[in-house]
């Protein structure tokens, strides 16, 4: 097969050279709401075309590569005194897989434990290309079903306005969970 970025022959959708050159994560921090930190690994202007593959037949494979390069890198440096839950935002399968579940899985380690299927939106509204006003007037209406979680990291693929992450944080807090921060692949405000 050929690398989808440089078109050289490769055993993977993205060759090792492109991974080193183009997918080295550059951690950025964005503060939203009342001081909640969201860490992102890529600028959306750079990673956007890869992130948009989530709606195609190669999306799951591309997301596994992005997750390994970014979330996997984060996992290797993260340590905490007690286990921390990793809660993917709305990890119901779409297009045959759940992209946020792939990201959460890349964090799985001794300190980080994914909790799949615990934070789902009751609304199927798409926020893609929508304004902040639209997002605020059409909440995702998250429902949390997890048990036995004290601290958590929220995982999503993109932060645009921060509305989704703030709503997820609020629902978790009401359930007695302390969200430490959120992790996303890319920050769309860095264009």
Domain that holds residue 80: 24-187
Mind listing the pLDDT tens digit for each residue in 111-157? 899 999 999 988 877 777 777 787 778 888 899 999 988 999 999 99
Mind listing the pLDDT tens digit for each residue in 84-112? 999 999 998 887 899 999 999 999 998 89
Q: Is residue 31 part of a domain?
A: yes
Q: Is residue 115 part of a domain?
A: yes
Q: Is residue 17 part of a domain?
A: no
Which of the four pLDDT bands, split at 50, 70 and 90, describes residue 12? very high
Total-model pTM: 0.91
Q: Is residue 3 part of a domain?
A: no
* Residue whose token pair is 């958590």: 152
Q: Is residue 47 part of a domain?
A: yes
Angle of helix 44-51 versus helix 59-69 axis, rounded to 10: 140
Q: Is residue 1 part of a domain?
A: no
pLDDT at 190: 55
Q: Is residue 14 part of a domain?
A: no
Q: How far apart are CA 29 and CA 39, in angstroms?
A: 5
Mind listing the pLDDT tens digit for each residue in 13-40? 999 999 999 999 999 999 999 999 999 9
Mean pLDDT, range 166-179, rounded to an integer: 96
CA trace torsion 103, 18, 43, 117 (10° rounding): -10
Domain count along the chain: 1
Q: How far apart are CA 156 and CA 138, in angstroms?
A: 18
Q: How far apart are CA 65 and CA 14, in angstroms?
A: 8
């Amino acid at each position: 097969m050929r690398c989808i970025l440089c078109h050289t022959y490769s055993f993977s959708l993205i060759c090792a050279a492109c991974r080193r050159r183009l997918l080295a994560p550059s951690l950025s921090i964005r503060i939203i709401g009342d001081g909640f930190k969201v860490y992102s690994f890529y600028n959306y202007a750079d990673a956007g075309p890869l992130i948009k593959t989530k709606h195609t037949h190669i999306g799951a494979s591309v997301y596994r590569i992005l997750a390994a390069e970014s979330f996997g890198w984060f996992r290797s440096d993260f340590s905490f005194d007690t286990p921390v839950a990793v809660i993917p935002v709305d990890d119901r399968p779409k297009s045959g897989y759940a992209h946020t579940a792939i990201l959460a899985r890349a964090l799985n380690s001794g300190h980080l434990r994914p909790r799949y299927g615990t934070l789902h939106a009751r609304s199927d509204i798409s926020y893609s290309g929508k304004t902040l006003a639209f997002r605020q007037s059409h909440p995702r209406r998250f429902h949390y079903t997890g048990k036995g979680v004290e601290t958590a990291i929220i995982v999503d693929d993109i932060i645009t306005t921060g509305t989704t992450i703030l709503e997820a944080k609020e629902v978790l807090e009401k359930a007695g969970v302390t969200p430490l921060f959120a992790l996303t692949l890319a920050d769309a405000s860095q264009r």
